[in-house]
Amino acid sequence: MAPVDLSPLEKSLLDIAQRGFPLSPRPYATLARQLGTTEDAVLAAFRSLQTQGVVGRIGAVWAQGAVGSSCLAALKVPPARLDAVAACVGAHPEVNHNYERDHPWNLWFVVAARDEAAREAVLDSIAAETGLPLLRLPMEHGHHLDLGFAIDWSPSAAIKENRA
């Protein structure tokens, strides 16, 4: 899969707007001033980034424990059942980050719910629906948590990527 082709403005927005997004009445105008462009150009660039799927949304990442209760979980799925089980797990609205990984514990996902009891109920129903062994791995301490992501825009990286 080739990486998407982003404009210089789109790249600049990804560099500066992953954290500390302006909390002021016209945030897109604030970003536009920083980048020497117009508010409408910034809005159009964000629309394009969302349409391309590069930006999921502009929003908040909440501190662990601040909002609801979440838990990393994994299932050991027979390979022939993986697509069906992934669909079953993903059908729960409390599930996100549903990934296949190259390990006997091959399906990994996060369950986020209103509180711990609701979270455990979702995990219980996933275990019952799939009949598969389930790992429940709640976080105990964060050493370094999501602060955004510095993207390497260098052409050499893109060329290597295209060859891969």
Partner 1 sequence: MTTVSAAPLLDDLDLALVDALGTGLPLTHRPYAGLGAPLGLSEAAVLSRLTRLHETGVIRRFGAIVRHREVGYHANAMCVFDVPDDRVADAGARLATRPEVTLCYRRRRQRPDWPYNLFAMVHGKQRDEVGARVERMVRECGLDRLPRAVLFGVRRFKQGGGCYGRPRTATPAESP
Residues 32-71 that bind partner 1 (CB under 8 A): 39, 43, 46-47, 49-50, 52-68, 70-71
- DSSP label at 94? T
Using rule CB under 8 A, residue 149 touches partner 1: yes
Provide, rounded to whole angstroms, the least separation between the CB of residue 153 and partner 1.
Answer: 9
Interhelix angle 8-16/39-51, nearest 10 degrees: 90
Regarding 8 and contact with partner 1 (CB under 8 A), the answer is no
Task: For residues 120 and 139, give the distance between their C-alpha atoms in angstroms, rounded to a whole number.
Answer: 14
C-alpha to C-alpha distance for 51 and 48, rounded to whole angstroms:
5
Q: Token digits for 13? A: 């927005």
Residue 17 lies near partner 1 (rule: CB under 8 A): yes
98 near partner 1, rule: CB under 8 A: yes
Binding mask 106-125 for partner 1 (x = CB under 8 A): x-xxxxxxx---x-------
Amino acid (one-letter) located at 160: K
Nearer to partner 1, 36 or 50 (CB): 50
**Collapsing DSSP states into helix, strand and coil, what is residue 28?**
helix
Of 7, 38, 96, 125, the one binding partner 1 (CB under 8 A) is 96
Closest approach of partner 1 to the CB of residue 125, in Å: 13
Q: Which is nearer to partner 1, 128 or 144 (CB)?
A: 144
Of residues 8, 84, 90, 124, which one binds partner 1 by CB under 8 A?
Answer: 90
The amino acid occupying position 45 is: A
Give CA–CA dist 40/32, Å, rounded: 8
DSSP for residue 137:
E
Residues binding partner 1: number (CB under 8 A): 93
Long-range contacts of 93-99 (CB under 8 A, 24+ apart): 94/118, 94/119, 94/122, 95/122, 95/126
